[in-house]
Amino acid sequence: MHDSALLLIELGALLLLLGLLSRLSRRYGLSPIPLYLLAGLLFGHGGLLPLHDIQDFFAVGAEIGVVLLLVMLGLEYSASELVGNLRRAAPAGLIDALLNALPGVAFALLLGWGPTAAVVLGGITWISSSGVIAKMLGDLGRLGNRETPVILSILVVEDLAMAFYLPVLSAVLIGAGLAAGSVAVAVAVTTVTVVLLVAVRFGHRISALLSVRDPEALLLGVLGLTLLVAGIAAELQVSAAVGAFLVGIALSGPVAHSATELLTPLRDVFAAVFFVFFGLVTDPRDIPPVLLPALGLAVVTMCTKVLTGYLAAKRAGIAAPGRWRAGLALMPRGEFSIVIAGLAVASSGIEPALAPLATAYVLITVVTGPVLARIPDSRWFKRRLRGRRAPLAASRDHLTEVDQHVPAS
């Protein structure tokens, strides 16, 4: 059988399976993300039915999937909203880094892996998955919720922080000096600043170049611009996700609305490809030996993520249900954690158990995160919150009544 024919057969069969899994998950009110990951494990390295011919396609498709997820998020918000949210999210970003990076650092040091591995594992536990969370918010219908800008602000702060962290980490892993690391960070800072400045000041001009009257031209133009900027950002050691998000921010008005409608089906296809690819490149046989340590680390850092989102939403004046939704939505780790682990594996002298532990850790958070994120929508959780608010409201009413009966002096 010809290679092209085999590729089409494998690709078609897998996409058909994903469609059936998606329908099954929707029927029972679940997110399809865990099922996509499990399908990847089934057909990937070490799986029951490994598919080799589709690996290259899914590798490129996974990158496009993350880019599309982030540009669609950017299309939901204007440049002024982004700048305002970033300013308000700066304290939350600092809390996020402290609460979620330190457990990874401490874990590596306790295992005796050394300071370099501690820096690596701290980054893995710190950064939430923008791609997974973007898909999850869409699946749960929360893109318009009050807490969603808070979630996005934390994600953008994390992605921007990656623009500084990754060059520094690369320099540390290869043993480069302070000068080389400083140059890499300077390039990253300059790139992010320029792209953000263009998005804020010249976004309306970029939108004017695209016409909503020609859907084909609009789709090709927005997709091409997004991939171009994301690729340039990645080449300059800045996250491709940041570049794609800022392209979405730069587009506004009818162009943004029409682009959202046109890109949505494309995003859904390549987002599924992204999650399947994550499972395809994971060998299930490497997971059992590190499963318990990864599970313990996941439990600790998922709790710290919930605390991060809860405090950030509370600071933004959002009610208790929104605080819990924000916290639980931030739990999944994904693409950046895998990138960080990949950089570490490519270098010499890093603890060999780091890569499988990182894989197991990410899988645990990615599979359980979308499931736990649905808790605030459950009836029992809403009843519990109402039950907690009722005594507080009664206490406030009692204090008001007492104040009304206190005689004036």
Task: Kindly give, in sequence order, each residue whose CB lies less than 8 Å from that of residue 305, ignoring residues fewer than 6 positions away.
Answer: 99, 100, 128, 327, 330, 331
Side chain identity at 370, as an amino acid letter?
A: P
Asked whether the beta carbons of 291 and 41 are under 8 A apart, the reply is: no
Q: How far is CA 207 from the centre of its chain?
A: 26
User: How does DSSP assign 203-215, residue by residue?
Assistant: HHHHHHTS-TT-H
Nearest CA-CA partner of 158 in 181, 118, 127, 192: 127
Distance CA 37, CA 227 (A): 25
* Token pair recorded at residue 273: 């490809």
Q: List, in order of start, the domains of the chain with CATH numbers.
A: 47-279+289-387 (1.20.1530.20)
Backbone angles phi, psi at 237, to 5 degrees: 65, 25
Report the alpha-carbon angle 315-320-322, nearest 5: 80
Q: What is the pLDDT of residue 280?
A: 80
Task: Kindly give, in sequence order, each residue whose CB lies less than 8 Å from that of residue 231, ignoring residues fewer than 6 positions away.
Answer: 240, 243
Give me the numbers of helices (H) and strands (E) for the chain, helices first please: 16, 0
Tens digit of pLDDT at every position of the chain (409 positions): 567 788 888 888 888 998 998 888 777 766 677 788 788 888 877 777 777 777 788 888 888 888 888 788 778 766 666 666 667 777 888 899 999 999 999 999 998 888 888 988 999 999 898 878 888 888 888 888 889 888 988 888 887 777 677 667 766 776 655 566 667 667 766 766 776 677 677 777 777 778 788 889 889 999 999 999 888 877 776 667 777 877 887 887 788 889 888 998 998 888 888 878 877 877 778 788 889 999 999 999 999 999 999 999 998 889 989 999 999 999 998 767 877 776 676 666 677 788 788 888 988 898 888 889 989 988 888 888 877 665 545 545 444 444 445 454 4
Asked whether the beta carbons of 31 and 275 are under 8 A apart, the reply is: no
Q: What is the pLDDT of residue 408?
A: 46
Distance CA 127, CA 278 (A): 17
DSSP-based helix, strand, coil % in the chain, nearest 5: 80, 0, 20
Nearest CA-CA partner of 19 in 196, 272, 230: 272
